[in-house]
Structure formats: C-alpha cells, structure tokens
C-alpha cells in the first residue's frame, strides 16, 4: 500500500512487536484503546457473541470511553478506509462515525453473520436457545454503547459486521466456520521465513517436531512420553525455561526456545505436534504434512476440528487427557488415506503465490477506499 502511494497507520495493542515486524517502513503506530478488565459470571463460550461480551461490552461506561478513544484516533488520522481484524470497539466507533471498514481475518474473527450466530464448539451439543440468548445479549450490550456514543442501534447483531466488505485470509477448507460460497477468499498471508533450519538429534526412529508452550499442562506428559520413544524429537517452546531443558532433554529429545524454519520442518519431519495455529496448519498442509493438533483455545480447537473433519490431521484435545502420543504418531505415519488427502490439498494449492495474494488484497483495499 505504501508503494502504491497510500498513507498507512497502525492502531495496535503491541507497539513494540508491531515496530519489530514492520522494521523501518514509514508506518505511524498508535496504541489501541483496550479494555483490560475481567468478566465473571458468564456462561462458557459457545458462540462468537460470547467472546464479544468478554472484550468489554459488559462494562457499558468503560466501552463508551474506549469508543471515544477510537473516534479521537479516527479524527486525528482521517482515514479513507479502516481495515479491522478482530476490533469490535473499532467497528462500533466506525458505525458511530459512519466510516467505511473492511474486515480482514483468517475466518474466526470474521464471523459468519446469522441470527442467531452459529456455535463455535460443534464437537459438543449446544441448544438453539443458548445461541439465541448469547446473540441477543451481545446485541443488547453493544446497543447500550452505541446509543450512549451517539450511534444507531443494531436491529441484529450481524449488522455490526454485514455493512462492511470482508476479506478472508485463509483457504475455504481451513475456514473456521466452514466454506462460505459467497465469501472473498484471498488466501493466507504468511511471513517469509528467515529462521534457521531445524537441528535434529542424531538418533534413530521417526523425526518428531513439537511446537508447544511449556506452561501448558499437556507439555510435561508429552515430554515424558517422547523420552520413552525411539525417535529423534525436536521441541520448540517459546516460553521454555532452563529448568525445563534440564528436566526433559535427552540425547534423542532436544528442547529449544528458538524458532526454526517451518517449511523445512514440514519437509523433514515425520510427525508434527502443534497448537493448531492457523499459520502453522497452513504451512504444513501446503506441503502435504498432516498435523497432530493439541489446541489450547477455542479458536485453535475450531480450526483443528475442521481439519480433522476433512481427514487432514489428528485432533487431540489436551483437556481430555490420557492420550498415548506414541500411538498418535504411529497412527499418523501409517494412515495412507490421510496422507493422500494432505497430498491432494498440497497439489490443489501448489500454484499458490504469496505475492499475488498481497497484490489482490492491495487492489481490493484501494477499490474500497475509493482510490
């Protein structure tokens, strides 16, 4: 967008991380108005409106203050177009200010508008009345904020999203809500890797790669089981402590907090454990490697469920416990049908070009901004 002559500003919750990502690009950074409270007494999350209620809308006065902050930023920047990725406060402020928006996201943060909103836990039974009550409660609380901010209330919760164009930065098969016939899929946006190649232990057996946070309850049990397997295991844990290395590392089990090139991992590993983050799942499947997914959050669990439904990977909910991870590895390696489906997925997107994705997205944003 900068190369096309546009002024770009970022409103972000992570100024330091954003600057490191953007480097010396001439992009102005501003801190996002964030609600930092906690909500108690709400039912478990089963639909996207439940998430909205946890992002501040139960605190009407607090969200009105945040909307004022967003509108002050909009007056300062005078944008022709707002590009929003899971920014409900910004969407409310844009509705009050009558500014054009485009919603961009991998699927989960660009919800499928419906009345009521659909379940995001399809692996469990959710009564329609529960979805209706969650949808209605979110609309009620957002309308309180809109009215106090001088905006027009929503007739349906979906109206917060449907006036705007949306671009899904994923592939139809990996859409958290399932393929949408009329949706605009531009494909995933992935950073070019500058990470080092994986350094595998010099031992026999299958090569096992693990990307998992060490603070999760599942981590010690997975390490214990890998220690007992004949394999060459490489574990990347960003929050790894020296005590974790001392406790779990073996000649055939190497632990590190340092990132590695995931493209090379997909080519060299026999099995890959991960959280079911969108970027990693895309990278693995584009190279025909089915993942073993241990989701920690509902967004990851929903993606893992879709991948599992299509026979493209294995989903193991850590909360259910009692998994034999060696058995999962053998199942993955020996499942020829799953391997064939992953290979077909990779072949289908063999011609995927990241530069074309970015060019198409830039052209769409220019069109929506009226350039």
Distances (CA, A) of 259 to 53, 195, 235: 34, 6, 10
Name the token pair of 113: 């508008």
Q: Rounded to whole angstroms, how far apart are CA atoms 354 and 87?
A: 25
Cβ proximity of 100 and 366 under 8 Å: no
Q: Which CATH architecture has domain 33-187+354-369?
A: 3-Layer(aba) Sandwich (3.40)
Q: Rounded to whole angstroms, how far apart are CA atoms 275 and 219?
A: 11
The dihedrals phi and psi of 223, each to the nearest 5 degrees, come to -65, -40
Q: Assess whether the region 33-187+354-369 and the region 207-348 belong to the same CATH fold.
A: yes
| Domain residue limits, the chain | 33-187+354-369, 207-348
Q: Rounded to whole angstroms, how far apart are CA atoms 282 and 323?
A: 25
Alpha helices in the chain (DSSP H): 15-22, 48-52, 60-77, 88-97, 128-148, 218-227, 242-248, 262-268, 278-286, 298-309, 325-334, 336-348, 354-369
pLDDT by residue for the chain (371 residues), tens only, comes to 999 999 999 999 999 999 998 999 999 999 999 998 888 899 999 999 999 999 999 999 999 999 999 999 999 999 999 999 989 999 999 999 999 999 999 889 898 888 899 999 999 999 999 999 999 999 999 999 999 999 999 999 999 988 778 889 999 999 999 999 888 888 888 776 678 999 999 998 999 999 999 999 899 999 999 999 999 999 999 999 999 999 999 999 999 999 999 889 999 999 999 999 999 999 999 999 999 999 989 999 999 999 999 999 999 975 656 789 999 999 999 999 999 999 999 999 988 888 888 888 888 888 888 76
Bond into 175 cis (ω within 30): no
Q: Side by side, which strands form the sheet with 207-211?
A: 253-256, 232-236, 207-211, 271-274, 292-293, 314-315
Eight-class DSSP state of 172:
G
Q: How many CB atoms lie within 10 A of CB 14?
A: 13
Distance spanning both ends of the chain, measured CA to CA: 11
Q: Rounded to whole angstroms, how far apart are CA atoms 167 and 184?
A: 5
Q: Rounded to whole angstroms, how far apart are CA atoms 133 and 136?
A: 5
- CATH class of domain segment(s) 207-348: alpha beta
Alpha-carbon Rg of the chain, whole angstroms?
Answer: 22
Please give the model's pTM, rounded to 2 decimal places. 0.92
CA 8 to chain centre: 23
Those residues with Cβ within 8 angstroms of residue 225's Cβ, 6 or more apart along the chain or in another chain: 324, 325, 326
């Amino acid at each position: 967008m900068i190369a096309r002559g546009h002024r770009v500003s970022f409103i972000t919750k992570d100024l330091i991380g954003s600057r490191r990502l953007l480097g010396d690009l001439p992009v102005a950074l501003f801190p996002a108005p964030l609600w930092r409270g906690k909500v108690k007494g709400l039912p478990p999350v089963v639909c996207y409106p439940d998430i909205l209620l946890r992002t501040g809308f139960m605190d009407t006065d607090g969200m009105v203050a945040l909307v004022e902050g967003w509108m002050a930023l909009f007056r300062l920047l005078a944008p022709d177009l707002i590009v929003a990725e899971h920014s409900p406060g910004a969407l409310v402020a844009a509705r009050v200010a009558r500014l054009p928006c485009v919603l961009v996201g991998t699927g989960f943060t660009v919800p499928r508008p419906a009345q009521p909103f659909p379940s995001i836990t399809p692996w469990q039974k959710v009564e329609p009345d529960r979805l209706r009550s969650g949808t209605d409660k979110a609309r009620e609380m957002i309308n309180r904020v809109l009215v106090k901010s001088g905006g027009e209330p929503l007739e349906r919760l979906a109206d917060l999203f449907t006036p705007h164009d949306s671009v899904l930065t994923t592939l139809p098969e990996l859409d958290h809500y399932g393929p949408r016939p009329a949706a605009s899929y531009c494909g995933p946006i992935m950073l070019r890797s500058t990470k080092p190649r994986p350094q595998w232990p010099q031992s026999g057996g299958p090569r096992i790669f693990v990307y998992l946070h060490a603070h999760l309850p599942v981590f010690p049990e997975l390490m214990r089981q890998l220690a007992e397997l004949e394999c060459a295991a490489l574990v990347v844990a960003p929050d790894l402590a020296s005590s974790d290395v001392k406790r779990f590392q073996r000649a055939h089990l190497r632990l590190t907090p340092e990132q590695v090139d995931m493209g090379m991992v997909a080519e060299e590993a026999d099995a890959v454990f991960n959280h079911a983050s969108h970027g990693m799942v895309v990278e693995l499947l584009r190279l025909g490697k089915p993942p073993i997914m241990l989701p920690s959050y509902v967004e990851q669990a929903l993606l893992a469920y879709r991948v599992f439904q299509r026979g493209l990977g294995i989903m193991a909910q850590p909360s259910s416990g009692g998994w034999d991870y060696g058995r999962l590895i053998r199942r993955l390696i020996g499942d020829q049908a799953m391997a064939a489906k992953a290979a077909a997925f990779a072949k289908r997107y063999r011609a995927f070009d990241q530069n074309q994705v970015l060019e198409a997205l830039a052209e769409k944003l220019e069109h929506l901004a009226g350039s």
